[in-house]
């Protein structure tokens, strides 16, 4: 197969940042995806519907002219989020869910939830009113090995959330382990997962290939080959509750190439192309469209996109770096070839 036309895909987990950084990155996503779920971990975090509406307007203003891209906003759950915020979020029509960051688990998560119990009143309201909970599923306890943090979060917290709130729709974001795949598979229709390109394509050896590789560092951290295989198998099987979420998470080069480098892989400049590569390697290109363009919309109870994109089997080289505000940023697979290229129709920049 040399051309692959897909219904326009969506990205169900994306970081766009704000200001000059936002203006540097948003066009990459808008060229590929019709909609994206926008993560709220700004500084300060997007904790209210009013803040989300303002952020959405800034995203709209940063888009290239004539571009139809719909940001689906999320609110950042804190210990003190009032249940009434759920009502406001829903009534705005612009917010699709609340993001649960265990405090301290990842980039800009210090205002996150410190004890699960504190979130129960909001989760109850979300369950009643049908908003989706997006979860960064890692415990933060220093005594839990960093490679076990997702598994322990599932055992201690996620299993409690889903049994206490059986009708709450929950997305376990960026799944990385075989245990997470098995947990999600074992749940009913209300529990789903997003899968990133880096977790489908790399295992943890990629963090140390010939030296330490800061651009492969994200959270949850890459896992073993045995875990990567579980992710590949479940998406290649066409499971309806595993869908595309890039977790493209831009950080300036100097913040990554540092003695204490930030977590986050910037995949937006080649996101759908990289998923095509992963599905092709798995012999499952025929399942890419559902994963990228149908299953997430179905889970979020939104209409599937109209329109399409085309990928061409023609190798191209990802830029070594991209402008990022005043500085630059190193994208995932910088300077290397990707097998599939996005076909941009003539006349569209
Ligand atoms: C994300 C970021 O940089 O905002 N980083 C990451 O490594 N995934 C935060 C997140 O999604 O956990
Ligand atoms: Zn996360
Ligand atoms: Zn993320």
- Which tens digits make up the pLDDT trace of 310-331? 999 999 999 999 999 999 999 9
As a whole number of angstroms, the distance between CA 285 and CA 288 comes to 5
Of 247, 255, 298, 328, the active-site residue reads: 247
* Helical ranges in the chain per DSSP H: 19-30, 49-62, 84-92, 120-129, 149-153, 159-164, 178-186, 197-201, 225-236, 253-256, 271-281, 288-289, 295-300
- The CA 100 to ligand 2 mean position distance, Å, reads 9
As a whole number of angstroms, the distance between CA 8 and CA 225 comes to 31
- The CA 344 to ligand 2 mean position distance, Å, reads 31
Preceding peptide of 44 cis, ω within 30°: yes
With cut-offs at 50, 70 and 90, classify the pLDDT of residue 344: confident
pLDDT at position 349, please? 46
Query: Would the pLDDT of 125 be above 50?
Result: yes
87 is catalytic: no
What pTM was estimated for this model as a whole? 0.98
Cα separations in angstroms, 65 against 10, 29, 73, 180, 349: 20, 14, 21, 40, 11
First to last CA, the chain: 26
Residue that has been written with the tokens 């995932």 in this structure: 332
Cα separations in angstroms, 118 against 102, 123, 187, 245: 11, 10, 24, 27
With cut-offs at 50, 70 and 90, classify the pLDDT of residue 107: confident
- Which of 99, 106, 265 is the pocket-test mutation for ligand 1 (most atoms within 8 Å of CB)? 106
pLDDT at position 347, please? 53
Residue that has been written with the tokens 């888009």 in this structure: 63
Domain 7-308: CATH superfamily is Metal-dependent hydrolases (3.20.20.140)
């Amino acid at each position: 197969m040399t051309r692959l036309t897909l219904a326009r895909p969506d990205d169900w987990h994306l970081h766009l940042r704000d200001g000059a950084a936002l203006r540097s990155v948003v066009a990459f996503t808008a060229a590929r995806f019709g909609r994206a779920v926008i993560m709220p971990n700004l500084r300060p975090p997007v904790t209210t519907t009013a803040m989300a509406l303002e952020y959405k307007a800034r995203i709209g203003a940063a888009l290239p002219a004539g571009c139809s891209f719909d940001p689906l906003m999320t609110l950042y759950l804190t210990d003190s989020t009032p249940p009434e915020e759920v009502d406001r979020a829903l009534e705005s029509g612009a917010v699709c869910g609340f993001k649960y960051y265990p405090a301290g688990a990842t980039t800009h998560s210090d205002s996150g939830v410190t004890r699960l119990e504190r979130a129960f009143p909001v989760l109850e309201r979300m369950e009643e009113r049908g908003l989706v909970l997006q979860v960064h599923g890692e415990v933060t306890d220093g005594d839990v090995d960093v490679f076990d943090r997702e598994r322990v979060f599932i055992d201690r917290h996620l299993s409690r959330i889903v049994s206490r709130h059986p009708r709450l729709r929950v997305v376990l974001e960026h799944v990385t382990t075989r245990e997470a795949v098995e947990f999600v598979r074992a749940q009913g229709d209300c529990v789903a997962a997003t899968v990133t390109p880096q977790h489908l394509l790399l295992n943890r050896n990629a963090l140390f290939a010939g030296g330490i590789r800061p651009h492969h560092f994200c959270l949850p951290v890459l896992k073993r080959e045995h875990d990567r295989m579980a992710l590949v198998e479940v998406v290649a099987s066409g499971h309806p509750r595993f869908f595309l979420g890039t977790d493209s998470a831009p950080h300036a080069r100097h913040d990554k190439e540092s003695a204490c480098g930030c977590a986050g892989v910037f995949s937006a400049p080649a996101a759908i192309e990289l998923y095509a590569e992963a599905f092709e390697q798995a012999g499952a290109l025929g399942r890419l469209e559902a994963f990228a363009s149908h299953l997430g919309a179905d889970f979020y109870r939104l209409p599937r996109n109209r329109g399409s994109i085309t990928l061409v089997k023609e190798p191209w080289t990802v830029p070594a770096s991209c402008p990022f505000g005043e500085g630059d940023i190193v994208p995932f697979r910088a300077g290397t070839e990707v097998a599939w290229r996005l076909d941009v129709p003539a006349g569209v920049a």
